[in-house]
Amino acid sequence: MTIHAFTDGASRGNPGESGIGILLKDEKGGALTSIFGYIGNATNNVAEYTALVTCLRMVSRLNCSDLVVHSDSELMVRQMQGKYKVKEPKLREFVHQAREIITKGGFTCRFIHVTRERNREADELANRGIDSRHPVQI
């Protein structure tokens, strides 16, 4: 099964209060599940990567053969595609975690950069995460 994941991290300030939002859809665009959560004080890039790693952990528990990750974070997408170098040590840790989850999960994973408009639902979830102050739980 192919799953389309829409991920977003939001930070009010950089760093600042942060949250994540994830929406999983099937091949036909039907919603499978969504989550949001609060991750505390973080940069926007840490929030984006936290959303990605959380998403990958969710998907690794599903019957997924192919994952397509849609994100409005050009930096994260290009780094995961290997097009940009990962200079920040904290982000290197996230990239390592993400690649390890993908490898162990046994699914292929593609990354697509989308406009904020096309990622609106994930953005709304990430902001709900900040507002809720509820930690991420999967």
So what's the pLDDT on residue 83? 98
Q: Is the pLDDT of residue 9 over 90?
A: yes
What is the per-residue pLDDT for 106?
A: 95
Mean pLDDT across the chain: 97
Is the CATH number of domain 2-89+109-132 3.30.420.10?
yes
**pLDDT per position as a tens digit, 57-102:** 999 999 999 999 999 999 999 999 999 999 999 999 999 999 999 9
Confidence of residue 137 (pLDDT cuts 50, 70, 90): confident
- Contact (CB, 8 A) for 56 and 76: no
pLDDT at 132: 97
What pLDDT sits at residue 20? 98
Look at residue 138 and tell me whether its pLDDT is greater than 80: no
Q: What is the pLDDT of residues 12-54, one digit of tens each?
A: 999 999 999 999 999 999 999 999 999 999 999 999 999 999 9
Taken in order 76, 137, 3, 119, is the CA torsion positive or negative?
Answer: negative
Q: Do the Cβ atoms of 73 and 45 come closer than 8 Å?
A: yes
Q: Where are the domains of the chain?
A: 2-89+109-132
